[in-house]
Structure 1
Amino acid sequence: MKALVYQKFGDTNVLQTIEEPKPSVQSNQVLIKIKAVSINPLDWKIRKGEMKLMSGSTFPKHTGVDFAGIIEDTGASVTNFKKGDEVFGVVKNNMKEGALAEYVAVPSTLVWKKPIQINFVQAASIPIVGAAAVTTLQKMGSINAQSEILINGATGGFGMFLLQLLKQKQAKITAVTSTKALDFAKKWGADVVIDYTKENVLSQKKTYDTVIDLSGKMGYINAKQLMKPKALFINPTPKPVEIITSFFKNLFTGKKHIAMLSNPSTDNMDVLLNAVDNGLQIEVSKIFSFVQSKEAYQYAEQGRYIGKVAVEFN
């Protein structure tokens, strides 16, 4: 089978397509013929060596975390899936394994049935950013119509899910995004939109109960001026040092810095599947073929796209 791998850390030029054996299925696994894989910033952070303490430096490495496809085979102990089921899911170890291949074998606990009302590309876009959005809501605690929330960088994949889930709770949402994405931010639930190309959000006088920095460009130091005395700053892409320092800083300040980590699980997929049943919108702004995988990453790493970017297998 064909698979996308890299033999050293680096930019998109290290990516290459190779032939390797189709994976065998262990008793607790399912073998999936891949139909689509979505692209996440985590992919290139690992590939560039930014997370080598966790990923290690053994090569070759595969890439791509969340996928959708059709079950080709099941292990002896798997009873909840059968050949032909349309599913979506994640690889077990996103630091070492990858979904950008014609087939993957993963534990059946990391796979969920694809809703019939969405296509494979949309389903592949759910797990990583969807789980992060659900985890964000959990970190925020009680959310109601009086909750005032600022989302910086609000219309990528993470923001797309988060805006819609927050709107279900009737929160008052201010979204910071680009000119071309303003209408999407409004459609997904923002009450107020700020075009960062025309206005610096840090120049406004308003303060919020929660500030969520999805762009990774604001930072806690800047966000503090936008936070109420007992507000939360949620950082979903923390550097290792921030995970440690935020814990100690939070002991001495009312303005908390939450360095958030998340993983797809059955509980947060249940929340997301219920949201899909209730009309959750999943925008995939650009789709590439497998032979264009390198171009897909080049495009995604430039940023400023709306929703998700994905690779589709013909």
Structure 2
Amino acid sequence: MTVLVTGAAGFIGFHLVNALLDRGERVVGVDNFIHFYDPALKQARVQALLKRDDFSFHDLDVGDPKALAALFEGYASIDRVLHMAGQPGVRRSITHPWEFIRSNIDGQLAMVEAVRQLPDFKHLVFASSSSVYGDSKEVPFSLDNRADRPRSLYAASKRAAEHIAATYSHLYGIPTTGLRFFTVYGPWGRPDMAALLFIDAVMRGNKLWLFNGGNLKRDFTYIDDIVAGVLAALDRPPAKDREGLPYAIYNLGNHRTVDVRDFVKVVEAACGKPAKVEDAPMQPGDVHVTYADISASTRDLGFMPRTPIEEGIPRTVEWYKRYYGVD
């Protein structure tokens, strides 16, 4: 049988496709190369994947229900989906709100509408975000925490996607798992996120802007740990909950917070260069802390992150030097 991975040209999707192929799965990947960051990086990921056997790729917008339905018709063997596609970016959601509705809400609806038509479908796993917790003061972020006060449209769109998936699970019995990711970083990472932004600034001798004067804490999670968690979720479709829904939500994070200024020190050590730090005000839509309670994902999925930033950041720096040719 076959796994569909949406957002296959993206950071997490790329690593998931590789991991699935490594364990002998047949994989269909889709992406529409949204120009949120340099599309050359996305193209490079896809070109690397296309060198592997048992992988096929389609340039497709998951927000287009007809195109998505046609894809499933062309691959009758698809029985599981890792729906990683979506528009990321807290600050961009303030300036480009319609992109987030199209990708994160229309795309989610198109996906659940498509899979509900499949007679032997096994499991839909989709990407959510720690952003749904807003600027919660209850830490670590537990699944019992409130998630109804988003600080950005990005967060609101991800929470809406969770509700859409839960509704379809209830109506049609679709086995569905949502995964709330916490600040994922690593090789082939998104250049708009802190790890690559900081590494790039230090390596090139540019200013490194620390929002809120660096008085922020993040639950930085290495990509290999995230991949292990996603695959564990994929292999364990949820049992019916107390309301009879085969639906579950989990946090996937490192279960520890790191002060952003301490994170900069680890980046400096890995790069072998000092950072030119400049303080900046808190950004609209941002939050002060992210911190994952992973007790449920450890209990049900065996999820146990193993990579501290002291290991993950040097690996990311080495990839950065090779890919960008900067030393």
Give the TM bin, normalised by the shorter chain.
under 0.3
- Which one has the bigger strand percentage? 1
TM-score (norm 2): 0.26
TM-score (norm 1): 0.27
